[in-house]
């Protein structure tokens, strides 16, 4: 069976440790290269056998003398073979590997036994309804994998690279860092790079789950998998394809099933013990009554044992539980959330404390001019003088000021620039002496200013022109639009404590925390301080901690937390690699969504386990007492599996 991680089989079951109940259906899918809709040939054997079964039952009811003797046997044998042979083939593969107690072996023995005692319709029914259940399961997996397959489909097939004074078409894997690539409208970005064109508009749905256009300007970052929308653009490659964001996402998605949840692993181990035990009980059901009962009827007790075997098949558990987790991973992917395995889908449901980095997680991580207060000078003139001086600096605050006034007019001439360490800049702009920096700069030159500026907690740049205080500009990192909603959603979903950590100064950190309603906030932190706070939180009894961050400095905290959550769209490679959950949209509100998806998935898993055990236990007792026929056994096995599959499919339609 296939071990391709993009294949349905590996998404639901470990091929080396477990025999999957959907093997023959998946083999068909694999043979036909099916990535979306199953070909007609997959359905034909089940439909043919179902038609023959129903026709045989109908004929036997309406014309009792029509199907008798060998004709009846061959009729049902023809009905049995299309659905029975694939199961028997898988049973033989298991036996050759000394794996005797599989659901394939149990169903093969039970149905062959049913034929041996003349219960042909029951024998065919077991295989037919099993095959129908497999078709439903395959459809459910295809639905769950829809968004993940969409990721695989966005893999660029070629790149237009500028070589030898012309553009050449090559595979993305053959492009080197630093080469120039051209992308036409409607084409996918083949590799991560820096935009060389003045601007570009992109559809990022494949990476973030958000379909609204995203505009990137010159020198901005563009990522492999983005769809170029409106004009020819050029970019300089910054990463080889194997290191690109798209390749990293594909690798995470394809290998998500390798990290299985404890519930999934427990059920697998249980099924491997449970199945041989029930097989031995079925054997005892045939043998022991011979020594106890005086009116022992071999055929009667063999039939009960066969019913017992069919009921004992752990299909509902082995299929629906991995499918439930995979459905949760698929539902999360549709929301722009990537889980690196079902183990984290399970663990995130236990999180009761969420710790978040401020910059880049709750805020946009980009400085913006928030307020301008000019005194004795026109606001526009002050900003032009300030921007001209700050335009010579690479400091983030200087860049924010320059970006704010870039459309006002052409830059003014600047000369005699001098930087005063820890205070700011001094220079002549258009013939005027301009000072720009913090209040210590004005104190240094003995320039008086409004004392109220000391009450401002945000970062400000005070300005003096020709020795006179001219005003200030307030610079701040903007809160993300959904930051406040994110905190409310976390409380609503059961998180009891929220904590914000920041390297920014304490006064700014506390102001942001108060605005958002964060329970605890710590500012002025180095990476090691964040780790110390996390260690202290984890020592609290019953505290399960999730940490959300985006920078390379957040990597130690991401690794230490019980669940590490990275803001993946703009997050550093180190953060994305270390985290257990990636939020591709960079929206903090998706943290609560991720927890909600985990809880919905866990609820479906518990429902499936409870349903399977309750029905199987009931019908096992009835079967041992001779009160359940093969038809009840089919329901207890395949019917319950089908119900569990349909329940798992609900994850794709839930409002999460």
Active-site positions read 357
Q: Could you identify the residue written with the tokens 């002496």?
A: 433
On whether the CB atoms of residues 211 and 336 are closer than 8 A, the answer is: no
- Helix (H) or strand (E) holding 122, with range, is helix 120-144
CA dist list (Å): 542 to 122, 219, 306, 345, 562: 52, 47, 48, 19, 12
CA dist list (Å): 609 to 322, 331, 585, 606: 12, 21, 34, 5
CA atoms of 417 and 466, how far apart (whole Å): 15
Query: Around Cβ 328, how many Cβ atoms within 10 Å?
Result: 30
Query: Environment class of residue 528 by beta-carbon count within 10 Å: exposed (0-12), middle (13-18) or buried (19+)?
Result: exposed
CA atoms of 502 and 507, how far apart (whole Å): 11
- Helix (H) or strand (E) holding 136, with range, is helix 120-144
Contacts of 527 (CB under 8 A, 6+ apart): 553, 554, 555, 556, 557
CA distance between the termini of the chain: 34
On whether the CB atoms of residues 317 and 461 are closer than 8 A, the answer is: no
CA atoms of 291 and 559, how far apart (whole Å): 63
- What secondary structure, in 3-state letters, does 194-229 show? EECCCEEEEECHHHHCCCCEEEEECCCEECCCCEEC
Please provide residue 97's backbone torsions phi and psi, each rounded to the nearest 5 degrees.
-95, 10
- Helix (H) or strand (E) holding 544, with range, is none
Residue 250: CA atoms inside 13 Å, Cβ hemisphere, count?
Answer: 18
Regarding beta strands 363-374 and 468-479, do their DSSP bridges make them parallel or antiparallel, or are they unpaired?
antiparallel
CA atoms of 357 and 586, how far apart (whole Å): 13
Among 503, 515, 518, 105, which residue's Cα sits nearest to residue 314? 105
Q: Could you identify the residue written with the tokens 């290191």?
A: 243
- Residues forming beta bridges with residue 374, ordered by sequence position: 471
């Amino acid at each position: 069976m296939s071990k391709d991680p993009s294949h349905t089989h590996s998404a639901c079951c470990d091929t080396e440790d477990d025999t999957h109940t959907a093997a023959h259906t998946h083999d068909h899918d694999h043979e036909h290269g099916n990535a979306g809709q199953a070909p007609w040939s997959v359905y034909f054997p089940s439909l043919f056998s179902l038609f023959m079964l129903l026709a045989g039952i109908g004929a036997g009811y309406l014309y009792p003398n029509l199907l008798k003797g060998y004709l009846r046997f061959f009729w049902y044998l023809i009905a049995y073979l299309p659905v029975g042979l694939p199961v028997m083939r898988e049973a033989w593969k298991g036996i050759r590997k000394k794996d005797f107690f599989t659901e394939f072996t149990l169903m093969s023995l039970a149905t062959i036994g049913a034929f041996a005692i003349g219960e042909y319709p029951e024998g065919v029914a077991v295989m037919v309804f099993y095959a129908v259940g497999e078709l439903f399961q395959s459809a459910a997996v295809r639905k769950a994998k829809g968004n993940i397959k969409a990721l695989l489909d966005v893999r660029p097939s070629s790149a237009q690279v500028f070589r030898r004074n012309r553009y050449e078409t090559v595979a993305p894997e053959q492009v080197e860092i630093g080469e120039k690539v051209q992308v036409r409208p409607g084409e996918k970005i083949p590799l991560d790079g820096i935009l060389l064109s003045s601007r570009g508009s992109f559809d990022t749905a494949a990476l973030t789950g958000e379909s609204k256009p995203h505009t990137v300007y010159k020198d901005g970052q563009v990522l492999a998998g983005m769809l170029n929308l409106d004009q020819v653009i050029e970019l300089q490659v910054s990463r080889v394809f194997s290191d690109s964001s798209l390749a990293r996402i594909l690798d995470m998605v394809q290998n998500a099933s390798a990290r299985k949840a404890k519930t999934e692993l427990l059920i697998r181990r249980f099924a491997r013990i449970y199945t041989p035990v029930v097989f031995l009980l079925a054997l005892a059901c045939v043998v022991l009554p011979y020594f106890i009962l005086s009116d022992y009827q071999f055929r009667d007790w063999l039939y009960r044992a066969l019913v017992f075997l069919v009921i004992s098949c752990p299909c509902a558990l082995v299929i629906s539980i991995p499918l439930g987790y995979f459905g949760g991973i698929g539902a999360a992917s549709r929301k722009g959330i990537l889980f690196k395995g079902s183990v984290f889908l399970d663990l995130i449901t236990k999180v009761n404390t969420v710790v978040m980095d401020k910059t880049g997680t709750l805020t946009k991580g980009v400085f913006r001019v928030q307020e301008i207060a000019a005194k004795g000078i026109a606001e526009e003139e002050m900003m032009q003088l300030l921007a001209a001086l700050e335009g010579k600096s690479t400091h983030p605050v200087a860049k924010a000021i320059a970006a704010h006034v870039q459309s006002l007019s052409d830059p003014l001439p600047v000369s005699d620039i001098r930087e005063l360490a820890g205070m700011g800049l001094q220079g002549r702009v258009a013939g005027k002496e301009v000072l720009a920096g913090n209040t210590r700069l004005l104190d240094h030159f003995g320039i008086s200013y409004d004392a109220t500026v000391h009450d401002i907690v945000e970062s400000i740049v005070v300005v003096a022109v020709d020795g006179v205080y001219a005003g200030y500009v307030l610079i701040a990192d903007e809160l993300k639009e959904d930051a406040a909603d994110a905190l409310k959603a976390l409380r609503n979903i059961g998180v009891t404590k929220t904590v914000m950590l920041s390297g920014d100064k304490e006064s700014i950190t506390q102001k942001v925390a108060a605005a958002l309603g964060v329970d605890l906030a710590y500012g002025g932190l180095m990476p090691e301080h964040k780790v110390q706070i996390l260690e202290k939180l984890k020592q609290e009894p019953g505290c399960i901690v999730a940490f959300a961050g985006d920078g390379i400095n957040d990597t130690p905290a991401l690794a230490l937390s019980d669940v590490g959550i990275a803001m993946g769209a703009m997050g550093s490679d180190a953060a994305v690699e270390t985290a257990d959950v990636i939020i591709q949209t960079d929206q903090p509100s998706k943290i609560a969504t991720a927890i909600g998806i985990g809880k919905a998935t866990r609820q479906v898993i518990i429902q499936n386990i409870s349903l399977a055990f309750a029905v199987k236990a009931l019908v096992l007792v009835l079967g041992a007492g001779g009160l359940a026929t093969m038809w009840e056994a089919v329901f207890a096995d395949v019917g319950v599996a089908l119900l569990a599959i349909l329940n798992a499919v609900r994850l794709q339609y839930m409002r999460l």
